[in-house]
Amino acid sequence: MGGEEFFIFFAHQHCEIAKEITDRLITAIANMDVSDLDPNLNHVTISIGVEKGNVGKHNFEFLSESTDKYLYLAKTSGKNKAIYGFTVASSF
């Protein structure tokens, strides 16, 4: 079964906050009981690509391409993980 892809923008947030949120998402989704939705489905997983930057007319293309690259890396290197395009000590 395939998955959906979407973007979440954290306006004016520090990288530490973005990491905390993505960590909580991964944990929450890994712990979800989805057997009531589909008896053949044991669990769902999430892969997240995260990039930092200012959203603007010229930056959107960079952010979307870069985030997609990190998402692909997360998908191909395991399940329930996030790949970041920054170090946590940096800020948005």
> Is residue 48 domain-resident?
yes
Collapsing DSSP to helix, strand or coil, 34 comes out as coil
pLDDT, tens only, 39-67: 888 888 899 998 887 767 667 888 888 88
> Is residue 7 domain-resident?
no
What is each CA distance from 23 to 13, 16, 73, in whole angstroms? 15, 10, 17
In angstroms, the CA 14 to CA 52 distance is: 9
- The total of structural domains in the chain comes to 1
Contact call for residues 47 and 74 (beta carbons, < 8 A) = yes
**Percentage, residues of the chain above pLDDT 90:** 23
Q: Rounded to the nearest 10 degrees, how much is the dihedral formed by the CA atoms of 62, 64, 70, 72?
A: -130
Contact call for residues 16 and 86 (beta carbons, < 8 A) = no
- Share the mean pLDDT of the chain: 82
Residue type (1 letter), 31: N
> Is residue 42 domain-resident?
yes
> Is residue 1 domain-resident?
no
> Is residue 68 domain-resident?
yes
pLDDT at 69: 92
